Amino acid sequence: MAEGGHIRLLPPDVANKIAAGEVVERPASILKELIENAVDAGATQIDVEVVSGGTRLVSVADNGSGMNRDDALLSIERHATSKIRSVADIEHIHTLGFRGEALAAISSVARFRLRTRRAEELAGSEVTVSGGTLQDVKETGCPPGTLIEVRDLFFNMPARRKFLRSPQTETSHVRQMFVVHALAWPEVGMKLTVDGRPLAVLPGGATLKDRIHDLMGAEVEAALRPVAFQSAEVAITGFVGLPALARGDRGDQHVFVNRRAASAPVVGHAIAEAYRTLLPEGRFPYVYLLLELDDSLVDVNVHPTKREVRFRHPSEVRDALIAAIRKTLAAGAGAFVPGQTPAPAIQPFDPAIGRKMQFSIADLPQVRAFSYPRRAGAAAPASGSAAAASQDLPGALPAAAGPLDAAPAAAGGPGGRSPWQTCRVVGQVGGLYVILETEDGYVIMDPHAAHERVLFERFMASVLRNAVESQGLLVPETVELAPRDAQLVRRSLDTLRRMGFGVSEFGGDAFVVDALPTGLGAMAARELLLDVARHLETVGDRGASERLREEAIAQAACKAAVKARDRLTLAEVEQLVVALAATDMPYTCPHGRPTLIYTSFTELERKFGRA
């Protein structure tokens, strides 16, 4: 038997470093805690300064209530807080901070200095801590409020320091954290200085709309619609974006619960459900929503970093979110597609109604719609000559069109053979799919997927030959991006230029685009630039080769380009059929979805009992 026990109480410095592992992940984590403390202190102005992504310095100064000497010393002790007093208070937390762990954890893994003064006191207090060890406490002259400087993060924990990313990456995280809190508290003036350069100066007393305009730009603000909804338990205000402004990730979905930058799985599901029939897969809307509900109905004490909350009645919150977003979008439905006119009150029978995607052939002869019982608005049976009746047949085409000859066999298709020798456009079904008749059957083609395949192979061929051509824009476009998106584009400028983009920095987070890859000139420069940069980041994180990175850019560009064409003429459809037949892989788009579904006449005869 052992002489002594095996269980020991951990020394305070060890316990603090363990706690720091939960609270302090990177410089942005420090910024979050310090801004929240400043807001809880009633600050109306918060100034943030970072150096080298925050690894060398994170400084937050506020004009809040400040502290006296005793409170300043207590603030760096674990579980010392002014926010709660008893167990009952945990059920009604109305402040951002309450655990009393942040300053103790931060000061244990960095060189820490706190300067603070209450407005009614003549002198302030300065507390200096290094790696969890108190170094000095003294009186100092300082303005009312609090200044906290955190230097040399993880200087005493080399293993943790190695996991920090480059200063550019850490700066990006810091900027994103600053943006989140600036959106949550628009009435508080905020300033961000990075490496001695002011990047954001936001006046106080603003509204959420003002703050979105200042941070995201006028283009984003113009495509947002205000939300005002009240249910039995939750009030929802803020803004949601029209589907036309959707982006390729959730980076601009900000939901604040009682002004706390936190979320819950049910919130993400509700947003996706509200936009389910409005956006294609892989596109995400802009969302800036504030949820207000009684403190007793939400648990913020779920995670040490307070990133996630738990609702007492999640179904109520989910239903309220869906109803609020759908009500707002329904009110602004006329702005979904620029130039779209409202539909008439009584519409003829249309098989495309209710579908998520629609595709129109502008000059395809209209077929008489009929069914039993006959639907209101259907055309009456035609009468007259056989020639007149033939114009109502699904296969009727203008005489000049004739059958389409595919590209030469050696030019395309797997094994050097196109999918067909001859074919013709027969008609359209479901408002999206095109029916093609070939020499031995019929094909249902998805024009969007087919167009994507054609553009992808053309663009990739140019990439591999290092011969990407650019198409100059008549009027250069200035694109103002969010901080995180601007960082992605800035890192990728050289590759983007090799891909045919004429893009250069314009100061701050703005870029000037004066050329796009040939064939993509009709695309909105902002959407295309963001999609390409994000695909580049995703593939680059996998450490892929230059060719793979450029292939990802080509896929993103082609995907964006095909979305720009939601209406083709019959002649353009015929050209698309010829081009698709000449590709190396005509049967799927670059993302694996089928472009063609083929049914032979033999299969039809078998199904109809004619075999």
Give domain limits for the chain.
12-201, 210-335, 360-378+386-446+569-607, 451-563
Q: What is the DSSP string of 543-581?
A: T--HHHHHHHHHHHHHHHHHHT--EE-HHHHHHHHHHHH
* CATH code of the domain made up of 451-563: 3.30.1370.100
Q: Where are the alpha helices (DSSP H) in 58-207?
A: 69-74, 87-90, 102-108, 158-161, 167-184
> Tokens for 31?
């910024």
Give pLDDT, residue 550. Answer: 54
Question: What's the pLDDT band for 477 if we cut at 50, 70, 90?
Answer: confident
Q: Do you know the residue count of the chain? A: 611
Prior bond to 373 cis, omega within 30? yes
Region 16-29 average pLDDT: 73
Look at phi and psi of residue 113 and say left if phi exceeds 0, alpha if psi is from -120 to 50, else beta: beta
Give pLDDT, residue 332. Answer: 53
Give pLDDT, residue 517. Answer: 76
CA angle 166, 148, 48 (to 5 degrees): 55
> Tokens for 37?
């403390």
Q: Which of 567, 502, 563, 569 is nearest to 279 (CA)?
A: 563
Question: What's the pLDDT band for 34 if we cut at 50, 70, 90?
Answer: very high
Contacts of 227 (CB under 8 A, 6+ apart): 236, 237, 238, 239, 240, 289, 324, 325, 328
Region 542-555 average pLDDT: 49
Between 183 and 275, residue with greater pLDDT: 183
What pTM was estimated for this model as a whole?
0.61
Between 54 and 335, residue with greater pLDDT: 54
Give pLDDT, residue 409. Answer: 34
Residue 66 burial (C-beta neighbours within 10 Å; 0-12, 13-18, 19+): buried
The answer, yes or no, to whether residue 153 has pLDDT greater than 90, is yes
Give pLDDT, residue 308. Answer: 79
> Tokens for 392?
């109502």
360-378+386-446+569-607 to CATH, choices 3.30.1540.20, 3.40.50.720, 3.90.1150.10, 1.10.3720.10: 3.30.1540.20
Residue 56 burial (C-beta neighbours within 10 Å; 0-12, 13-18, 19+): middle
Q: What pairs with residue 230 in β-bridges? A: 235
Average pLDDT, the chain: 76
Q: Which of 318, 41, 354, 38 is nearest to 181 (CA)?
A: 38
Region 53-57 average pLDDT: 96
pLDDT digits (tens, 9 = 90+) for 172-220: 999 999 999 999 999 999 999 999 999 999 999 999 999 999 999 887 8
Q: Which of 16, 12, 75, 10 is nearest to 41 (CA)?
A: 75
Q: Which of 492, 490, 369 is nearest to 431 (CA)?
A: 369
Question: What's the pLDDT band for 22 if we cut at 50, 70, 90?
Answer: low
Q: Which of 337, 368, 553, 379 is nearest to 463 (CA)?
A: 553
Region 354-358 average pLDDT: 53
The answer to whether 106 and 150 have CB atoms below 8 angstroms apart is: yes
The answer, yes or no, to whether residue 137 has pLDDT greater than 50, is yes
Question: In what order do the strands lie in the sheet containing 502-505?
Answer: 470-480, 510-517, 502-505
> Tokens for 562?
């095909």
The answer, yes or no, to whether residue 390 has pLDDT greater than 70, is no
Least confident of 255-259, 431-435, 464-468, 506-510: 464-468
Q: What is the DSSP string of 356-422?
A: S---EETTSPPPPP--SSPPTTPPPPP-S-HHHHHTTSTT---TTT-PEEPPPGGGSSGGG--S-SE
Fold of 12-201: Heat Shock Protein 90 (3.30.565)
Least confident of 4-18, 230-244, 372-386, 441-455: 372-386
DSSP 53: G
Question: What's the pLDDT band for 570 if we cut at 50, 70, 90?
Answer: confident
The answer, yes or no, to whether residue 611 has pLDDT greater than 70, is no
Look at phi and psi of residue 390 and say left if phi exceeds 0, alpha if psi is from -120 to 50, else beta: alpha
Give pLDDT, residue 488. Answer: 77
Separation between Cα atoms, residue 454 and residue 466, nearest integer Å: 19
Region 456-476 average pLDDT: 77
φ, ψ of residue 338 in degrees (nearest 5): -55, 135
3-state helix, strand, coil in the chain (%, to 5): 35, 25, 40
* CATH code of the domain made up of 210-335: 3.30.230.10
DSSP helix/strand/coil, 257:
strand
Q: Which of 376, 338, 173, 116 is nearest to 245 (CA)?
A: 338
Least confident of 283-287, 314-318, 338-342: 338-342
Contacts of 249 (CB under 8 A, 6+ apart): 284, 534
Give pLDDT, residue 296. Answer: 82
The answer, yes or no, to whether residue 115 has pLDDT greater than 90, is yes
Give pLDDT, residue 198. Answer: 94
Q: Where are the alpha helices (DSSP H) in 465-600?
A: 483-491, 493-498, 525-541, 546-563, 570-581
DSSP helix/strand/coil, 498:
helix
Region 447-463 average pLDDT: 79
Region 414-428 average pLDDT: 68
